[in-house]
């Protein structure tokens, strides 16, 4: 069997190293849910945490035993024994075994600088720590992985000693030695050269654990595989301390699609975008839209020349098919757009537009005029669809707002301002005139519009305002500046964005709110809800 036929084992450390990020903290329930998802996409090892460091990680190892995993092994993380004690009496080592994982991973020092300055022991004593700890664990656990911490820095400083620490791990019968770029400062060409030197003396399987401080974690991981590593550690979305860890969402498709290396199945890879967003959600973070492979913008096209080309041959401006990782091609509408963008977008919305129809050019000119005023449709595709439908004359007129008024009043220096909105809407031949309060003028206006319309369209109660963003355009004109409001709304069926622009923030919000309501009613109509 050749090297390229060897399965590359994926070792996820989102639940341990990923939580070192200053923005991330998972509850035990979250960690269990993420572990189950990781198992479903075919990850081979799931590092649950360091059971000797905190009660939350101890709880995880208890809870995960109640679940049935299809194939993933649960790994517990820890360190070599302390100096001047034996492994059987070291509390850290004992806790690792007591947590009853499938695999134990421990780290040890390979950089002589760390041995002297951090551990403050002799170089020979450090090698004894590594050997004793691994040998003892091998007697008590089925599989043991050794993380050679700071290996690349250690090798560059003192190659002979760094290799000796690996030999100690090999003599102790570790199942895999993982070379760690702990500070994240190693470059890809160094990784390849150093691994080739390691392979001359180390015969057991090698792995890679890279940090992203030099923006090379993914590249370093792939180079390591190219030079023989068959075990790759990383985190979902690259979460981790400082600049993060190697991003498995980029490593997996690169291994499988670019390098022809088996790691997970095609069906499992199609869930990559789903699990990426799932973990962002549990971490309470906004997904990185520009993230390679799985981000919203990873296969988004804006320039008209690009759009025209990808419609004929997607490979002209896409390095792979987005469906492979569960993503899609997106066409963006902006003042850079050409006629091909309009046609592609119309097709996306199931609207029939002829490329030679003068209406296409008319829509394009209207978009460019609106964007010149400050409109932006990349994040407001619902407003764009409504614009196209109105131009085509196939948009039902659900309601008309004949007037509104918003009042903000403060009744006392220390009291919170009160907001009230009054609206008058016309539906068919009926007029509804009503008022509502809210926490701020925009919320009051939203409440009043809904109150007026819900008697006609009860399904509007399902709709929620999920996000509200205000951008002042252009900067430098102070309170006289034009304001762009982007609103994200949603119901059980999905989410949609709308936009409004005005030199009055309430008016801009009003336009975005009305589009959001109109779009909800349009979706319900097409879904047959009425």
Per-residue pLDDT reduced to its tens digit, 209-233: 999 999 999 999 999 999 999 999 9
Lowest mean pLDDT among 134-148, 263-277, 371-385: 371-385
511-525: average pLDDT: 94
* 108 CB burial (10 A radius; 0-12, 13-18, 19+): buried
Query: Over 80: is that where the pLDDT of 298 sits?
Result: yes
Instruction: Kindly give the interhelix angle for 358-372 and 339-348, rounded to the nearest 10 degrees.
Output: 100
Position 420 confidence tier, pLDDT thresholds 50, 70, 90: very high
Position 299 confidence tier, pLDDT thresholds 50, 70, 90: confident
CATH tag for 300-358 (out of 1.10.3470, 3.30.2420, 1.20.120, 4.10.430): 4.10.430
Specify the pLDDT at position 64. Answer: 97
- CATH code 3.30.160.740 region(s) in the chain: 399-456
Q: What are φ and ψ of residue 198, in 5° steps?
A: -65, -45
H helices within 373-504, ranges in order? 381-392, 441-453
Q: Does domain 3-282 have CATH number 3.20.20.70?
A: yes
Specify the pLDDT at position 476. Answer: 46
145-163: average pLDDT: 98
Position 352 confidence tier, pLDDT thresholds 50, 70, 90: low
CATH tag for 373-391+463-530 (out of 3.30.160.340, 3.40.640.10, 1.10.10.10, 3.40.50.1260): 3.30.160.340
Q: Which of 350-359, 368-377, 517-526 has the highest mean pLDDT?
A: 517-526
How far does Cα 331 stand from its chain's mean position? 21
Query: Over 60: is that where the pLDDT of 278 sits?
Result: yes
Position 170 confidence tier, pLDDT thresholds 50, 70, 90: very high
Contacts of 321 (CB under 8 A, 6+ apart): 314
State the average pLDDT for the chain. 89
301-311: average pLDDT: 58
Specify the pLDDT at position 1. Answer: 40
Q: What share of the chain in percent tops pLDDT 70?
A: 88
- CATH code 3.20.20.70 region(s) in the chain: 3-282
Query: Residue 245 has what DSSP assignment?
Result: B
Specify the pLDDT at position 277. Answer: 86
Topology of domain 399-456 in CATH is Double Stranded RNA Binding Domain (3.30.160)
Bridge partners of 491?
A: 494
- CATH code 4.10.430 region(s) in the chain: 300-358
The answer to whether the beta carbons of residues 247 and 278 sit under 8 Å apart is no
Query: Over 80: is that where the pLDDT of 70 sits?
Result: yes
Provide the strand spans (E) within 273-398.
Answer: 300-301, 330-331
Query: Residue 258 has what DSSP assignment?
Result: I
Lowest mean pLDDT among 72-76, 163-167, 322-326: 322-326
Specify the pLDDT at position 335. Answer: 47
Specify the pLDDT at position 395. Answer: 82
Gyration radius of the chain's alpha carbons: 29
Lowest mean pLDDT among 38-47, 79-88, 98-107, 363-372: 363-372
Q: Which of 115-124, 335-344, 358-367 has the highest mean pLDDT?
A: 115-124
Q: Which long-range contacts (CB under 8 A, 24 or more apart) does 505-512 make?
A: 505/470, 506/406, 506/441, 506/442, 506/445, 508/483, 508/484, 509/441, 509/442, 509/445, 509/468, 509/485, 510/401, 510/404, 510/445, 511/485, 512/380, 512/383, 512/485, 512/486, 512/487
Query: Over 80: is that where the pLDDT of 346 sits?
Result: no
Specify the pLDDT at position 397. Answer: 86
- Higher pLDDT, residue 466 or 317: 466
Number of Cβ within 10 Å of residue 141's Cβ equals 17
159-170: average pLDDT: 98
Query: Over 80: is that where the pLDDT of 431 sits?
Result: yes
Position 471 confidence tier, pLDDT thresholds 50, 70, 90: confident
Specify the pLDDT at position 530. Answer: 47
Global confidence as pTM = 0.71
Specify the pLDDT at position 374. Answer: 80
Could you tell me the two tokens for 193?
């050269």
SS3 content of the chain, % helix, strand, coil (to 5): 45, 20, 35
471-500: average pLDDT: 78
Query: Over 70: is that where the pLDDT of 310 sits?
Result: no
Residue given tokens 């209207």 in the structure block: 366
The answer to whether the beta carbons of residues 213 and 184 sit under 8 Å apart is yes
- Higher pLDDT, residue 375 or 22: 22
Q: β-strand 176-181 against 430-438: which pairing, if any?
A: unpaired
Instruction: Give the residue from 383, 381, 343 showing the smallest Cα distance to 359.
Output: 343
Specify the pLDDT at position 387. Answer: 85
Instruction: Give the residue from 253, 270, 6, 36 showing the smallest Cα distance to 14.
Output: 36
247-273: average pLDDT: 97
185-191: average pLDDT: 98
Specify the pLDDT at position 23. Answer: 87
Lowest mean pLDDT among 147-156, 251-260, 375-384: 375-384
Query: Over 80: is that where the pLDDT of 363 sits?
Result: no
Conformation bin of residue 334: beta by default, left when phi > 0, alpha when psi is -120 to 50:
beta
């Amino acid at each position: 069997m050749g090297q390229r036929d060897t399965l590359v084992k994926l070792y996820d450390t989102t639940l341990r190293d990923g939580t070192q990020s200053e923005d991330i903290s998972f509850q035990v329930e979250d960690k269990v849910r993420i572990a189950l998802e990781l198992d479903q996409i075919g990850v081979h090892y799931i590092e649950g945490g360091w059971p000797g460091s905190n009660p939350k990680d101890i709880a995880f190892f208890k809870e995960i035993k109640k679940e049935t995993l299809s194939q993933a092994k649960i790994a517990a993380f820890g360190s070599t024994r302390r100096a001047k004690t034996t492994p059987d009496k070291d509390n850290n080592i004992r806790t690792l075994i007591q947590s009853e994982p499938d695999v134990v991973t421990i780290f040890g020092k390979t950089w002589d600088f760390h041995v002297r300055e951090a551990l403050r022991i002799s170089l020979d004593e450090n090698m004894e720590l590594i050997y004793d700890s691994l040998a003892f664990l091998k007697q008590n656990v089925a599989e043991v992985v050794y993380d050679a911490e700071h290996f690349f820095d250690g090798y560059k400083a003192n190659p002979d000693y760094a290799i000796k620490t690996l030999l100690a791990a090999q003599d102790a019968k570790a199942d895999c030695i993982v070379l760690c770029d702990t500070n994240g400062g190693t470059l890809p060409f160094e990784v390849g050269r150093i691994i080739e030197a390691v392979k001359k003396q180390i015969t057991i399987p090698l792995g890679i654990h890279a940090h992203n401080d030099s923006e090379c974690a993914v590249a370093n991981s792939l180079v390591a595989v190219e030079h023989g590593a068959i075990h790759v550690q990383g985190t979902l979305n690259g979460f981790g301390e400082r600049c993060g860890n190697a991003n498995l969402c980029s490593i997996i498709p690169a291994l499988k699609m670019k390098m022809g290396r088996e790691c997970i199945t095609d069906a499992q890879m199609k869930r990559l975008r789903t699990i990426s967003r799932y973990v962002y959600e549990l971490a309470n973070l906004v997904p990185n839209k520009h993230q390679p492979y799985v981000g919203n913008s990873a296969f988004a096209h804006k320039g008209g020349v690009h759009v025209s080309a990808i419609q004929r041959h997607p490979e002209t401006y896409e390095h792979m098919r987005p469906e492979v990782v569960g993503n899609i091609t997106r066409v963006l509408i902006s003042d850079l757009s050409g006629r091909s963008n309009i046609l592609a977008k119309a097709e996306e919305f199931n609207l029939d537009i002829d490329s030679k129809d003068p209406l296409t050019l008319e829509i394009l000119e209207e978009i460019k005029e609106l964007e010149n005023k400050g409109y932006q449709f990349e994040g407001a595709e619902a407003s764009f669809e409504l614009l196209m439908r109105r131009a085509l004359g196939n948009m039902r007129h659900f309601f008309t707002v004949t007037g509104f008024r918003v009042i903000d009043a403060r009744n006392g220096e220390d009291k919170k301002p009160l907001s009230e909105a009054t609206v008058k809407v016309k539906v068919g031949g009926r007029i509804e005139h009503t008022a509502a309060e809210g926490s701020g003028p925009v919320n009051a206006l939203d409440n009043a519009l809904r109150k007026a319309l819900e008697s006609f369209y009860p399904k509007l109660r399902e709709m929620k305002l999920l996000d509200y963003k205000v951008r002042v355009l252009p900067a430098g004109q102070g309170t006289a500046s034009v304001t762009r409001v982007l609103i994200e709304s949603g119901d059980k069926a999905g989410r949609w964005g709308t936009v409004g622009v005005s030199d009055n923030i309430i008016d801009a919000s009003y336009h975005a709110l009305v589009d959001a309501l109109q779009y909800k009613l349009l979706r319900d109509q097409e879904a047959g809800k009425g």
